[in-house]
Amino acid sequence: MLDTAQNRPDLPPEIARRRTFAIISHPDAGKTTLTEKFLLFGGAIQMAGQVRAKGEARRTRSDFMQMEKDRGISVSASAMSFDFKEFRFNLVDTPGHSDFSEDTYRTLTAVDAAVMVIDGAKGVESQTRKLFEVCRLRDLPILTFCNKMDRESRDVFEIIDEIQENLAIDVTPASWPIGQGRDFLGCYDILRDRLELMDRADRNKVAESIEINGLDDPKLAEHVPAALLAQLREELEMARELLPKLNPQAVLEGHMTPIWFGSAINSFGVKELMNGIGLYGPEPQIQSATPREILPEESKVSGFVFKVQANMDPKHRDRVAFVRMASGHFKRGMKLTHVRSKKPMAISNPVLFLASDRELAEEAWAGDIIGIPNHGQLRIGDTLTEGEALRVTGIPSFAPELLQGVRAGDPMKSKHLEKALMQFAEEGAAKVFKPSIGSGFIVGVVGQLQFEVLASRIEMEYGLPVRFEASQFTSARWVNGDRVAVDKFVTANKQHIAHDHDGDIVYLTRLQWDIDRIERDHPEVKLTATKEMM
């Protein structure tokens, strides 16, 4: 058995060694750089630089489109598997832009932990805070990496305080930086009593690691100048008094985050962080589902779709459904039941994502992410099992915040447009509503950029120029309740009613007042801003 602190100690070893996590950060904090170093030390890439190009491509809209054109790359980057020591890491990518928050939310339903990267000069930034809140909703364990310590950074106590106060989580230092900016030497590894020295000459070289016998070890003075050493001793003394000690259980429960200091670009602190993910990150966890939860160690295989990516190859309208395995030991060729349609599906070409390559997944264990190519049967929120009618819960769909009408540039092509829109709706890239009166569609998104990306994808993937235009509606709510009451409501409000791509009834309006009025006057119907995907 692995010597780790865990809350599920009886898992089969193959499952117990899996760590499935995402990285959350504000743009520019160093997520791409850190990902690349993970892959490098995980043996998944040979050379730094392979992932960088992609990170840069994220920055501007036009480059983003370019990246979207190259769907192959963005698909491989959605999930990456690699080994580190005795562990198998599954790193799931979260979309970088804040406009894609719903996608991010769903991605975080597929992981057991998150690594939060912050910039040592900037501390907790807006996007970090938002993503953190999403993790908090699920009590996801969080490990923190404070990056860019090779540059001028903020005071360490100040950074830790900020995280504790802003995010309301206990912070315990796993390492402590020695010196700052140009004088940054490396870190004292508090968990393992080692001195880690940074090599500025070779960015891909792993730090020199020196075993130390406590803070009074004379070896320290051989490597650390007297002034810095005195400061280190003083700060560690203070840290010991002021900050909580590492409590692995509190980490697993999401109440405490260990923090490592480092410099991703200099490969510094990255291996210590990876060790930390292995030792203190959670094993595959129990999955909430109805009518019962799913334990990873169950012998029967199950999994759920948390992301769908369409049109990877525009010539064949194929899609890849990303499935998080929730239990069991999957083998290629297995027949699984698609619970929503109750139909069997032979999973003959599942793929595993290894950095820039995809390869056939001969097997997968609970915790792994596999891609299943399909023709549209698999949708976000779908559950696959060996026959039992289980449905994974907690994968929401949010009401969009921006609505626009959409028309095909060529009116003869509106059937094509419908097909394209439905495909994007299934992929989760947008909400598509068909009003019950009149023609045309209303598209709903969370951020403005999504309209532009959609227009460009519809043109690129379907050869169909489209126009988005202002809609008379600004809000959408799903309509639920007793069938007779809902029917009556629909008849009385025809000009506000539309259907989403699943055929569910939606109420569209431009006035919050309308929504409040309906809630007051029609308690028998419920208007909701989220619906669970199934």
Beta strand extents in 183-301 (DSSP E only): 186-189, 194-197, 208-211, 256-261, 289-290
Residue window 361-380: x/- pattern of binding to ligand G4P, with contact defined by CB under 6 A: --------------------
Reduced to 3 states, what is the DSSP secondary structure of residue 325? strand
* Residue 264 touching ligand G4P (CB under 6 A): yes
Question: Residue positions in the annotated binding site?
Answer: 25-32, 93-97, 147-150
Which region among 21-29, 66-74, 136-144, 298-306 touches ligand G4P (by CB under 6 A)?
A: 21-29
* 269 closest CA partner among 182, 148, 132, 88: 148
Apex CA 171: angle with CA 165 and CA 175, to 5°? 135
Residue from the set 90, 147, 153, 311 that interacts with ligand G4P by CB under 6 A? 147
Residue from the set 17, 18, 31, 88 that interacts with ligand G4P by CB under 6 A? 31
Q: Kindly state the smallest distance separating residue 522's Cβ from ligand G4P, in Å.
A: 47
Q: Kindly state the smallest distance separating residue 56's Cβ from ligand G4P, in Å.
A: 6
* Residue 28 touching ligand G4P (CB under 6 A): yes
* Residue 180 touching ligand G4P (CB under 6 A): no
Which region among 145-153, 331-339, 366-374, 476-484 touches ligand G4P (by CB under 6 A)?
A: 145-153
Work out the end-to-end distance of the chain between its first and last CA atoms, rounded to an integer number of angstroms: 37
How many chain residues are in contact with ligand G4P, going by CB under 6 A?
Answer: 18
Residue from the set 4, 15, 22, 30 that interacts with ligand G4P by CB under 6 A? 30
Reduced to 3 states, what is the DSSP secondary structure of residue 448? helix
Phi-psi region of 269 (alpha: psi -120 to 50; beta: other; left: phi over 0): left
Site for ligand G4P in 149-178 (CB under 6 A): 150-151
What are the C-alpha distances in Å from 239 to residues 57, 114, 183? 40, 24, 21
Which region among 148-156, 185-193, 285-293, 508-516 touches ligand G4P (by CB under 6 A)?
A: 148-156
Spatial distance between the Cα atoms of 439 and 484, rounded to a whole number of angstroms: 27
Asked whether the beta carbons of 529 and 400 are under 8 A apart, the reply is no
Site for ligand G4P in 124-143 (CB under 6 A): none
* Residue 347 touching ligand G4P (CB under 6 A): no
Please enumerate, as own/partner, the contacts of 346-349 that have beta carbons within 8 Å and a separation of 24 or more.
Answer: 347/372, 347/384, 349/373
What are the C-alpha distances in Å from 244 to residues 172, 173, 261? 6, 9, 17
* Residue 148 touching ligand G4P (CB under 6 A): yes
* Residue 32 touching ligand G4P (CB under 6 A): yes
Reduced to 3 states, what is the DSSP secondary structure of residue 160? helix
Which 8-state DSSP code applies to residue 38?
A: H
Spatial distance between the Cα atoms of 37 and 204, rounded to a whole number of angstroms: 8
Q: Kindly state the smallest distance separating residue 263's Cβ from ligand G4P, in Å.
A: 3
Which region among 25-33, 129-137, 253-261, 303-311 touches ligand G4P (by CB under 6 A)?
A: 25-33
Question: Residue positions in the annotated binding site for GTP?
Answer: 25-32, 93-97, 147-150
Q: Kindly state the smallest distance separating residue 180's Cβ from ligand G4P, in Å.
A: 13
* Residue 97 touching ligand G4P (CB under 6 A): no
* 178 closest CA partner among 274, 269, 242: 269
Residue window 44-73: x/- pattern of binding to ligand G4P, with contact defined by CB under 6 A: --------x--x------------------
The site for ligand G4P (CB under 6 A) is made up of 25, 27-33, 52, 55, 147-148, 150-151, 263-266
